[in-house]
Structure 1
Amino acid sequence: MTIEKDDSFAAMFEREAAAPAKKRRTPRVGERVNGVVVQLGRDTVFVELEGRIQAFLEAEELRAEDGELTVKEGDKITANVVEVDESRGHIRLGRSMGKPGSIAALEQAKAAGLGVEGKVTGVNKGGLEVELGGTRAFCPMSQVDSKRIEDADAKALIGQSLRFLVTDIRDGGKNVVLSRRALQKQEASETVARAMTDIVPGAVLTGTVASVRDFGAFVDLGGVEGMIPRSEIAHDRSVNVADALKAGDTVEVQVREIKDVEPTRPGGSTKKITLSLKALTADPWAELSIVEGRVIAGTATRSTEFGVFVRLAPAVEGLLHVSELARGAKVGDGEEIRVVVKKIDRATRKISLVPAPEGAEVGTAVATAVAVKVGAVVSGVVERIETYGLFVQVDGTKGRAGRGLVPNAEVGVPRGTDLRKSFPEGTKVTAKVLETGEGRLRLSIKGAKDAEERADFEAARGRAGAPASLGTFADLLKGRKL
């Protein structure tokens, strides 16, 4: 509702006066009061105080730098009682007392903590010279602004009308000391208090990106700053903060958490507000159709010391662990690769991958476990040499599941032999399977040789031809003279 003429405010008071009389305490000048905005006029904002007492403020006091009002109907505000005219039933509120006309008014403003309006008339070495409705005053340079101000900036204030708090009055008003910084701090606290009434966990708010860092973005929520951590920017973890947000962007965010913290600087915030962008977007895991044991095409997004992250679907990544890659294998960012989904953990939102077999088509089912049995003899290639043995990749397999360890005792060479010379990487070997299981494939080159020698012995023995039967004792004596 908009009021074009201030005489409608008088009509409002007349209606209030016609209501049944009830005992109400009239606020005193200088008193700090809370109220609710009930109407917005062109030049006036009408407020209802406790006890249904009507009051008003000049709209100019509630306008932002762009001229827009900073309040709307229903908003709660805190202001000071500047004037009480009981004969007319008018109570005027203000963030300041305007231009005080006497030392008494300045004393009143000082006592009530009200701001006063003054015009900067000059700058000297110590601060600003200010004229307050005929009274000269002084604002020390350290109190001109909440931020450090240079001489050139101070001189630029000459001729401007600013608001200050009266901090000291001496010698009957001959020395009046002001502070703009203290008023800014007071108004900032009031702004924070108003904003915090709406900032609660789960609330969806609109803010402006104040700054962007590698670890997240800071958002101004109307005098209160919150942070969107990198993990809350998007469901896709590979998205960089700077690519998603820019300073000045208007964003809609959800409040995830509010914590009490120690301020990092004097007068700093005592609240840590965590915000989220991704909470307001669809969850890609909700309808994820990826199946364990299937070949899927993906795109490598980034490589780390523990493996390669592969994008499998929008905002969904899996990890191809470094142990699943051949020694020295490189996967470049942006490279298209085929992998097999080894395991999906929806609770922790983690997907384990293994390399897909050569020639495997997307969508086909592939066993991630190596189908070898204990006692079987397999062939493979030496992939890595360690002080405790050889790692052999079994032919026809990829990744850790098909990579077995041949301990030193099972290599079949004299103790002290240099394995790097006897079995350089890439050497083809034959080994016997001693043990199987997830990450527990143990092989024996010596065992394979023993099995081969035993097989050769059995074959030779078979070729020599053993008699079908030894016969009876009588058969042995037949033809002999006794």
Structure 2
Amino acid sequence: MDMDEKDVVETEEESFAELFEKSNSETQRLRPGSKVEGKILKIGAEWVFIDIGKKGEGVMERKELQDAEGNLTVAEGDTITAWFTGSVRNEMRFTTKLGAGAAANAQLEEAHRSGIPVEGFVVKEIKGGFEVRLSGTTRAFCPFSQISLRRAENPAEFVGKHLLFKVTEYSERGRNIVLSHRQILEEEQRVKREALKEVLLEGMTVTGTVTRLADFGAFVDLGGVDGLIPVSEVGWTRVKHVRDVLSVGEQVSVVIKKIDWEAGKISLSLKDTLADPWTTVAEQFPEGSYHTGTVARLAAFGAFVTLAPGIDGLIHISKLGKGKRINHPSDVLKEGETVEVKVDGVDREARRLSLALAEVSRAAEEEEKSVASFRQQATSSSKESMGSFGDLLKAKIEEKR
């Protein structure tokens, strides 16, 4: 072997040695709690093998990547976030959460510093929150405000559940540990929101689940973000209480009216998915027709009467007094009362129906008929009188001749 070949071999050996040493040093720099991004190489019956780049390969238990039904939530080739827990028989072990075993109990402080999720069991409800067990023996505390995204209306529903938590406080060598499940949920929601930004558009019809009811509307989960159906958009009819129309857990189809990602607000409409009753109002309630309706509400200027779901008409106060001046519609009508009305005018574009009390309209019609009849009789009598006078005048002329 000449000198040049020897130099090349030595250089290659040195390079390989340097890489090997560098790889070992990088592996050694991984401390329990170190966060890595890894690509899933192989999914076995019990273990999952992941590629963590220059640091080599690691393994984690298959059950960590399964849902409650035992189904895998990832596939080979996917990239996941994991935390280094230590080496066992020269294997680098990783986890997606801590708190599953006795060894993890010693890593809770690192979990607090690094933000690693920990798995805990909600034992019972105590003053101000919940007692949670980590690693089977370590006691921790989760405040009521940190167990869910919103105030828990039924705290007992969380007792007996295994949940993921973030360690928000670690002190007194583990004797004082405070947890938050809410931070886990907020992170999941943030990820879902980012994904939905590419999908949700104004004007789109989507399906969601009613999660909460309020006096001003209903909140609907659209698959990771909540939107609000204002009470005015619940239906074409006037809605006093949202709970009369919707219930928590109900599946609904809604139209996205407006999206404000910066403010975190999505406005929805249930009404826009329903048939508009005003499209056929002219055929259903033609001008001059009589109908029976219910007094929906009273205002200073008149009474609103519901003729059909979503169809309200107005009787102006000037048409309520039967010719007499009244101070308020309540002097004549009361809410919930059934009345017969006449349609005086239809404006489909403006969504307005002008109404009058049927008895007043009929009385006016009878009066008009009486006046018309009187005029007709008067005209006939005048003609008869003129005829008689003409006959007399003609007879006088004939006598003179």
| Aligned-pair CA distance for 1:214 | 3.8
User: SS of 2:282's equivalent?
Assistant: coil
Q: Which residue of 1 aligns with 2:196?
A: 198
Aligned residue runs from structure 1 range 91-102, under 5 A:
94-96=96-98, 98-99=100-101, 101=103
1:61-87 Cα offsets, whole Å, 9 max, x none, are 6646xx5979799xx9985455799xx
Deviation at 1:292, TM superposition (A): 6.7
Q: Deviations over 1:81-118 (max 9, x none)?
A: 55799xx9999662556436257744543343112235
Match of 2:371 in 1: none
Mind listing any 5+ residue stretches in structure 1 that lack a counterpart? Answer: 1-25, 262-269, 361-379, 381-392, 398-482
- Structure 2 counterpart of 1:16: none
- Distance change (3 Å), C-alpha of 1:170 and 1:208: closer
Task: Give the structure 2 partner of residue 316 of structure 1.
Answer: 311
Please report the RMSD computed on the Cα atoms of aligned residues, expressed in angstroms: 5.6
Q: CA deviation at 1:316?
A: 2.0
Match of 2:216 in 1: 215
Unaligned runs of 5+ in 2: 1-26, 369-401
Partner of 1:180: 179
User: Which residue, out of 278, 288, 291, partners 1:294?
Assistant: 288
- Counterpart check, 1:339 vs 2:342: yes
Q: Give yes or no for contact 1:204–1:254 (8 Å, CA) kept in 2.
A: yes
Q: How many residues align?
A: 310
Q: Pairwise mapping of residues 126-141 of structure 1 onto structure 2 (< 5 A)?
A: 128=131, 130=133, 132=135, 137-140=138-141
Distance 1:253 1:104 in 2: 49
User: How far apart in 1 are the matches of 2:126 and 2:265?
Assistant: 41
Change (3 A) 1:295 1:209: same
Residue in structure 2 matching 1:277, options 267, 270, 279: 270
Indicate the residue corresponding to 1:249 in structure 2: 250
Deviation at 1:332, TM superposition (A): 5.9
Contact 2:142 2:179 in 1 (8 A): no
- DSSP-derived class of the 1:289 partner: helix
Residue 356 of structure 2 corresponds to 354
Q: Which structure: greater helix fraction?
A: 2
CA contact (8 A) 1:45 1:59 kept: no
* Bigger RCO (CA 8 Å, 6+ sep): 2
Deviations 1:256-297 (A, max 9, x none): 223468xxxxxxxx5233222112122223344347743242
Equivalent residues of 2:277, 2:309 under 8 A apart: yes
CA separation of 1:112 and 1:276: change in aligned 2, threshold 3 A: same
The 3 A distance-change label for structure 1 pair 311 and 91 is farther
Shift of 1:312: 3.8
Contact 1:79–1:94 (Cα < 8 Å) also in 2:
yes
Q: Which moved more, 1:95-104 or 1:109-118?
A: 95-104
> CA, structure 1 residues 320+122, in 2 after alignment: closer, same or farther (shift >3 Å)?
closer
What SS class does the counterpart of residue 308 from structure 1 fall into? strand
TM-score, normalised relative to structure 1: 0.47
Q: What SS does structure 2 have at the residue aligned with 1:285? A: helix
Which string of whole-angstrom CA distances, capped at 9 and with x for unpartnered residues, describes residues 302-361 of structure 1? 131232223344422222222221144326635242312324151x4333333457676x
Query: How far apart are the structure 2 equivalents of 1:228 and 1:46?
Result: 46
Q: What percentage of residue pairs aligned between the two structures are identical?
A: 26
1:180 is displaced (CA, Å) by 2.3
Q: Is the contact between residue 206 and residue 251 of structure 1 (CA under 8 Å) also seen in structure 2?
A: yes
- Which amino acid is the alignment partner of residue 198 of structure 1? L
